[in-house]
Structure 1
Amino acid sequence: MFLSSHNSLPQFHPGTEIVIPNNYSNWASLEPIWKQILDFGDLVMQMSEEHPEGIHLIGYSQGGLIARGILEQFPNHNVKTFISLSSPQGGQYGTKFLHTIFPELVRETAYELFYSSVGQHISVGGYWNDPHHQNLFYKYSTFLPFINNLNATLNSYLFKQGLLRLNKMVLIGGPNDSVITPWQSSHFGHFSSTESVVKLHDTKMYKQDTLGLKTLDEAGKLKIVTVPGIDHFQWHSDEEVIDTHVLPYLD
C-alpha cells in the first residue's frame, strides 16, 4: 500500500502493512517515467508475492500515474484496489508547478521541449498532453498515448488486462486542485483543441473501451470522486479526504 502517513489508517486497518517508497523523491521525480514504473513495479511485484491475499495500491499526483503504469506493465499483479489521488491520468497541460525547475516555461510553447528526445527523458514530458499539437503528441510522446492505449501496440491487450484484474479503481480529484490541468484529468479527462474539457465518458478510450474503463464502470468497479475545496498539495494529508474518500474503499 502506498499512502502518506495518516493517523486513521492503523485504526481502520489494524495489522495492515504500509509501504511508503522513498525512491525518486524531489528532483529524482523528473527521471524518465518508464524507468520509475519499472523500478517501482519490481517492488509492487515483490509485495504481491509476500501478500498473495492481495494488496491495495495508492498513488498521489505523478505517483498515481506511475502506479497505473505498474498495473499495466505488470499485468500479473494481485492489486485489489487502486486509488488515484489527484493524478494526471488524462495528461497535463499546465506549467505552474514546473516554474521552480523551468522558470521560463509556458504551456503554449512547452511542447517544443517536451515533444523532443530530450523532453521525453523528463517524466512530465511523458504525459504532457498539448491539445493544440496532437500530431506531435502522438508522434513523439513515448508514454501517455501508449499507456492509454491510444497508440496500439503488442502490449495493448496486456495493458487492458492489467486494469481489468482490479476489483476497484477509485479516481479522486477536484476543481480547486491548482496543479492538475485540466483538473478532470484526474478522472481521465483532457482538453479538446478548443480547450473545452472532454470528460471521461466522452473520451475515445472510454467509448471504445480500449483500456477497459467502460468494462470496469459497467461492472461497478470504477468510482469517480470529486471533492471541491482541496488544493493539490493537500490531497494526501487532508484528514477528511483520507477518512471520507480513501479509507472506505480499503475493504
Structure 2
Amino acid sequence: MKFTLLSYIVINLLIVTQSYKPVFLIHGIMTGSVCMDLIKARIEEKHPGTMVFNTDRFGGWSSLENMWYQAQQIGSDLINITQLYPEGIHLLGYSQGALLSRTILQAFPEHNVKNFISLSGPQAGQYGTDFLHLIFPDLALKSAFELFYSRVGQHTSVGNYWNDPYHQTLYKEYSQYLPYVNNEIKSNRSEEFKKGITKLNKMILIGGPDDNVITPWESSQFGYYGENNTVVNLIDRDIYKNDLIGLKTLDDAGRLKIITVPGVDHFMWHLNISIVDNFILPYLD
C-alpha cells in the first residue's frame, strides 16, 4: 500500500512538473538578465518544474546594438531551444526586449512559441524625452531625428525604433527596422513577418498610463501618435485595420489580449509580483 501511494504521489508530481511549457525571457535596454530574475524566480515558484531561459546576451551598453543584429543572435538561441521542446514554449520580453521578442517571432517564423507576452514594450515605436534622456541625456527631442535618421543612427537600437511623428517621410526613408517589421513598408519578407505572428496561440500586450518612459504609453499596445499629436489606438491604425502583421487576425480569433494597468512605473513592471501573478502567470500554462 505504501508503494502504491508513493507511486501515485510521484506520478502526480511528474504530471504537474511536466505540464508547464518552457519560458524564454528577454531583458530591456541598458540592463541584463538580472533584471528578469524576479520574474524567473516567481515562475519557478508558482509553476514548479518550469524550465526558464533568461538570456544574458546584449546586456548593458551592448543593448544599444542594431535591433536586427540582436534579433538574429538571440533568435538563433531561441530556435535551438524550441528544437528541444517540440510541444512549444512561451516568450516574454520587457521594454526594448518586448519589441525584440516580437521581431524574433517574425524573423524566425518557423518558431513554435505558443504565447508571447509583451511587457511595456515600444511596439509602435518611441518618441519621448523621458526615454531619450535615459540614453542620450544631451540630445534634444525635436532634433533627435537628425541623428537617428542617418546611417550612424541606424546602427543603434533606439534609432531603429525612433518614430518621430513630425518627420514620417524621413522615418520611412531612413529607418531600416521598425517600418519593415511593422510591414508599413513591404519587403520580400512581409509574408513571413505576418506568419510569425498569426501562428501564435495568444499575444498579450501589457502597458499602462503611468509608465513614464514608453511614449506614448499606448505604443505598448500598438497605439501611436496621429495628426495633431493625438494618440490613435490600435484598432484605428492601419497596422490593425489592414492587418499588416496579423494583429486583426489574432483579435478576430480571440487570441489578442490587451491589458492596461494604471499606477505602474516603467522600471517596476518586471519587479512587481502582483503584475507577474495576475497578468503573466495565467498565460504560462
Assess same fold via TM > 0.5.
Answer: yes
Matches of 2:67 and 2:262, distance apart in 1: 29
Runs (4+) of structure 1 moved beyond 4 Å? none
Which structure 2 residues correspond to residues 7-156 of structure 1 after superposition, within 5 A? 7-156=41-190
TM-score normalised by L of structure 2: 0.86
1:175-232 Cα offsets, whole Å, 9 max, x none, are: 0001000000000111113110011001101001111000000101000000000000
Asked if the contact 2:240/2:247 (under 8 Å) is kept, the reply is yes
Q: CA RMSD in A?
A: 1.0
Aligned with 1:5 (options 33, 37, 41): 37
In structure 2, the partner of 1:197 is: 231
**3-state SS in 2 of match to 1:243:** helix
> Equivalents in 2 of 1:16, 1:8: separation in Å?
11
Structure 2 alignment gaps of length 5 or more? 1-22, 26-35
- After superposition, the C-alpha distances for 1:135-182 in whole angstroms (9 at most, x for unaligned) are 000000000000000001110000000001100000000000010000
In 2, the alpha carbon distance for the partners of 1:103 and 1:64 equals 23
Q: Give TM-score scaled by structure 1 length.
A: 0.97
1:158 and 1:84 map into 2 onto residues whose CA distance is 20
Structure 1 residue identity aligned to 2:91: L
Q: 2:221 aligns with which of 163, 171, 187?
A: 187
Separation of aligned partners in 1, 2:132 and 2:235: 29
Q: Mean alpha-carbon deviation: is it higher for 123-132 or for 12-21?
A: 12-21
Is the Cα contact below 8 Å between 2:164 and 2:171 reproduced in 1?
A: yes
Q: Which has the higher helix share?
A: 2
1:235 positional shift:
0.4
**Partner residue, 1:227:** 261
Q: Aligned pair in 2 of structure 1 residues 193, 106: CA closer, same or farther (>3 Å)?
A: farther
Pairwise CA distance, 1:98: 3.4
Are residue 246 (structure 1) and residue 268 (structure 2) matched?
no
Identity of aligned residues (%): 54
In structure 2, the residue corresponding to 1:50 is in which secondary structure?
A: coil
Provide the rounded CA distance (Å) in 2 between the counterparts of 1:65 and 1:16: 24
- 1:100: how far off? 4.6
| 8 Å Cα contact 1:177-1:231 kept in structure 2 | yes
Q: Distance in 2 between matches of 1:169 and 1:224?
A: 8
Q: Is the 8 A contact 2:98 2:121 kept in 1?
A: yes
Kept after mapping to 2: 8 A contact 1:132/1:193:
no
Greater displacement, 191-200 / 83-92? 191-200
Q: Which has the larger radius of gyration?
A: 2
Q: Relative contact order (alpha carbons < 8 A, sep ≥ 6): 1 or 2 greater? A: 1
Contact 1:32 1:121 in 2 (8 A): yes
- Contact kept? 2:79, 2:111, Cα under 8 Å: yes
Cα distance in 2 between the residues matched to 1:55 and 1:150: 29
SS at match of 2:93: strand
Work out the CA distance in 2 between the residues paired with 1:64 and 1:108: 26
Secondary structure of 1:201 counterpart: helix
C-alpha distance in 2 between matches for 1:79 and 1:147: 18
Q: Which runs of 5+ in 1 are unaligned?
A: none
